[in-house]
Homo-oligomer: A and B are copies of this chain.
Amino acid sequence: MSKVIFDCAISLDGFFAGENRSPENPMGGVSEKLHQWMFKQKAFWKHIKAEGGDEDSADGKLIERVFARTGAYIMGKRMYEEGEVHWAEDLFEADVYVLTHEQRAPWIQNGTTTFYFINDGIMSALKKAKQSAQDKDIRIQGGANTIQQFLNAGLINECFIHIAPVFLGSGIRLFESIDKDKYDIIISEVIPSNLTTHIRYQLTQKK
């Protein structure tokens, strides 16, 4: 059965993004600090359809794995607007559901990526994403606020956190105002690495 997952990097002090995010300053300029572990990996650059990276190690396998398991994406409007000016065409190779108040026809890209613009909330997006994903997983791509909405609705089955050994001091926290009573959580996988610590959690909604 499809899982609803998220998979993202945070700083040691819990930040998912920096201050003053905009299309000109995606993630508030902190991507390099949080994603250093990815930037070294050939798998990352291959995924974004560019040249780069000098390693092909265990960290790279994780990048491939989450990409391969994901059958549909859901993201917030701000992440979409920050990203789409930078993303290669057909980056996601799947249906992407963007939560927005803007009414807009689907954007069908060359390849297999289509952006759908959803005006009626997370449950509607999730229902459509499940149809797209079939037996693959649905990844809540971000931003933090979108992930928090799914968390607090009890809809997340699994998350994979990559904790970078860096302080950001300010910005947008991944886990802000989380409903503390929603889930039983177990640690399912811990993968040490030099530039980050990968921890996978399974979340089960409390009865």
Contact = CB atoms under 8 A, between A and B. Distances in A.
Interface of A: 12-14, 161, 163, 165-170, 173, 175-183, 185-187, 190, 192-197, 199, 201
Contacts of A166: 180, 185
A185 to B, nearest CB: 4
Given A12-B175, A13-B176, A167-B182, 14 more contacts: A12-B161, A13-B14, A165-B185, A165-B187, A165-B201, A167-B175, A167-B178, A167-B183, A169-B178, A169-B181, A170-B177, A186-B194, A187-B192, A187-B195
Contact of A197 (B13, B169, B177, B199): B199
B199 A163 contact: yes
Contacts of A167: 175, 178-180, 182-183, 185
Contact of A187 (B169, B187, B194): B194
A12 B182 CA distance: 14
Most buried by B among A161, A166, A167, A194: A167
Contacts of A178: 13, 167, 169
A173 B165 CA distance: 17
A186 B169 contact: no
Nearest to A12: B175
A201 B12 contact: yes
Contacts of A183: 167
26 contacts: A12-B161, A12-B185, A12-B201, A13-B14, A13-B173, A14-B173, A163-B199, A165-B186, A165-B187, A165-B201, A166-B180, A167-B175, A167-B178, A167-B180, A167-B183, A167-B185, A168-B180, A186-B194, A187-B192, A187-B194, A187-B195, A187-B197, A190-B190, A190-B192, A197-B197, A197-B199
Contacts of A185: 12, 165-167
A26 B175 CA distance: 24
